[in-house]
Amino acid sequence: MASKSKILFIGGTGYIGKFIVEASVKTGHPTFVLVRESTLSAPSKSQLLDHFKKLGVNLVIGDVLNHGSLVKAIKQVDVVISTVGQTLLADQVKIIAAVKEAGNVKRFFPSEFGNDVDRVNAVEPAKSAFVTKAKIRRAVEAEGIPYTYVASNFFAGYFLPNLSQPGATAPPRDKVVILGDGNPKAVYNKEDDIGTYTIKAVDDPRTLNKILYIKPPGNIYSFNDLVSLWERKIGKTLERVYVPEEQVLKNIQEVAPPVNVILSIQHSAYVKGDQTNFQIEPSFGVEASQLYPDVKYTTVDEYLSQFV
């Protein structure tokens, strides 16, 4: 058994980053997380950083915007996983430059972890974020850096606790708002499972220069079927309110950030069906639950049970 790759995370204290960091260290990868000086002393991050240290994560001081610190950090590892948030997506060109200069990286995972940005029909403001991610893909390919792009679709923790109902803190018990006709299928994955699948791909030759789609069969639901599943769980029929696409587009233009961003992402998945309206071809992609059938992922059905 070859020794496991050393992994550097950039954005490892963020929403999805922390789950992937944990999966990395728990499966025996020497795990490094780039942190800014300011993050070390940030009260909001102290609990997470303590948790990382207890797990055996190595914290490396550095900054995406400081080329020297980035190159130095990257030279210590084999694989770089970026999970930076929205505001730093475009700045990943700096990570690409540092990876190129360091010259030792076997694989780079840019910050993706959503829809496949090369196969979307999104409107603004989601469109701009997807375009930025696609530009980063092209930059990685242009530099000849070995990569894996993880298209993990929806985070269960974002969209299932309130069944995507705006402003709600629990799933609906009376009426439910459905964008479009509720028939296109979307994919909901528990964050821990996204971490597990991502780390399994790190040293797998089958995922090299490919998109890793996380689409386990138990997590693919049309919105109508999702509501029906919830109704069965609570033993009650909900009033379904359908919002036609025209109205959805109008709403996106009228609401303020970040609601317009969320709504435009939902439009892409729920109305356009962007997570499931194409076939995964071996030339560009592989599917995680097929590659790793041993992973016991949490199904949408199991996930929703906690809210009954």
Catalytic residues: 133
- 8 Å CB contact between 47 and 53: no
The Cα–Cα gap between 31 and 140 comes to 23
Nearest to 191 by CA among 201, 183, 199: 199
Give 42-56 as a 3 state SS string. Answer: CHHHHHHHHHHHHHC
The Cα–Cα gap between 116 and 137 comes to 11
The Cα–Cα gap between 285 and 24 comes to 22
- 8 Å CB contact between 186 and 269: yes
Q: What is the DSSP letter of 87?
A: G
Nearby residues of 11 by Cβ (< 8 Å), 6 or more positions away: 17, 82, 83, 84, 85, 88, 111
The Cα–Cα gap between 157 and 292 comes to 22
